[in-house]
Amino acid sequence: MRVLVTGGAGYIGSHTARLLTESGLEPIVYDNLSKGHRRAVQWCPLIVGDLANRDLLYDTLTKHRIEAVVHFAAFIAVGESMQRPGVYFRNNVANTLNLLECMKDANVGNIVFSSTAAVYGDPIAVPITESHPRNPVNPYGETKLMMERALHWYGECHGFRWAALRYFNACGAHPDAKIGEVHEPETHLIPLVMQAALGQREDVGVFGRDYPTPDGTAIRDYIHILDLGEAHVRALEYLNAGGASGAFNLGTGKGQSVQEVISAVERVTGTKVPVRDCPRRAGDPPELVADATHAFETLNWKPRMSDLDTIIETAWRWETIGRPKR
């Protein structure tokens, strides 16, 4: 199967493209390199292009005889989406509609869509199932929900089959440290903790120690990047076999607190992490944990590398050995 991986030079996209190759599929990465990195695409061809370029996108789908799409290309920073909502709607919605239209014209009907737990908004029950009300509290989550709804209607009107994978907290790196997490600026907890441990930043902020959790810090569901990538492979196989369209939570079903993450980094690396206590951030719920039973049962997928020590070990190897020097 020839698969177009949009945003395949980014963090999740590059790991997934590599797994697709290792699974015997033929990925083609399509990325404008505005957020992704050319060096992350080492195992398959790269086409440098923007989803706004309808002609190039259509030519890519037809020339390479693409049979399915895995769509990662999107802006993902929640805070930035609050400051620049127009940019997020243009990129995440308008450009994705360009992709869907080109797929329709090129007779490509299967798509795995990179969605997010942000479609749920503030949880009313934990763990969160796919039937939880969807009420985003930021433009980023709204753009993803809008595209899930568009996928539904492209399925109804044009026969598309789709899987929307709602991630919780992606983390870790490939064990060989050839690819890993690089965001500029970095906003994710685990790389921030490690960079503080390495002296690359003064400290790491802990936003709130007064949550109604066992240690007072917020709890999140952390899932290893290779487990996420494997879910995309399984979703493609599921759709190719005629599976019904739908949304799937991707998480472990177990939460880890901010303090537990910091303590795990100190334990695994033997390095003290400088910490700065800060007030809670507006909109941060105490706990976000997935119920991923639907993915377990339907996609025949389960996390294998998402214990916290494995996450920390692979991320530390990337930060100390693999990551290009800044």
d(CA 31, CA 44): 13
DSSP string, 101-123: HHHHHTT--EEEEEEEGGGS-S-
CA atoms within 13 A on the CB side of 144: 32
d(CA 167, CA 188): 14
- Which is catalytic among the residues 88, 140, 211, 238? 140
Tokens, residue 38: 């050319």
To the query of whether residue 58 is one of the catalytic residues in this protein, the response is no
- SS3 category, 7: coil
Closest CA to 312 of 280, 264, 275: 264
Give the angle 321-322-324 at the CA atoms, nearest 5°: 110
Q: Look at strands 219-220 and 256-257 and give their pairing.
A: antiparallel
Prior bond of 127 cis (ω within 30°): yes
Strand partners, 69: 4, 111
Q: How far does Cα 43 stand from its chain's mean position?
A: 20
Q: How far does Cα 106 stand from its chain's mean position?
A: 26
d(CA 193, CA 205): 9
> Which residues are annotated as catalytic?
140
